[in-house]
Amino acid sequence: MNKKRRTIITIIAISLFKLGLSVINSVIEELKNIPQIKKIMSLTGDYDVLTEIEVETPEELFDIFANKIDLIQGISSSNTHMVMRAWQK
């Protein structure tokens, strides 16, 4: 019997968020409850928060935004990028 082995590919997405006033702590607490978010960073500059998200499919990433991230009060806009390749130093 020839079983096909399923290869699991990890997709990494970097999301940048602009937040409303005085909501950074509550937004970060809600982001911390999403298991696919592996890192959360507070930033200076045009965006307030950066997250690193790990998923197996683009559909899973869509679902996380549609059902979780987009529902978080205080996020005024986001900008998400999928990592094509990463290098270790």
- Give the CATH number for residue 28: 3.30.70.920
pLDDT at 3: 66
Instruction: For residue 53, give the nearest of 6, 11, 7 by alpha carbon.
Output: 11
Q: Mean pLDDT of all residues in the chain?
A: 93
pLDDT at 7: 72
**Residue range(s) defining the domain that contains residue 54:** 11-82
pLDDT, tens only, 23-39: 999 999 999 999 999 99
CA distance 16 to 48: 7
- Give the whole-number percent of the chain exceeding pLDDT 70: 93
Instruction: Read off the pTM.
Output: 0.86
- Tell me if 27 is assigned to some domain: yes
9-34 burial code (b ≥16 CB/10 A, e <16): eeebbebbbebeeebeeebbebbeeb
- The amino acid at 55: V
Number of domains in the chain: 1
Average pLDDT over residues 57-71: 96
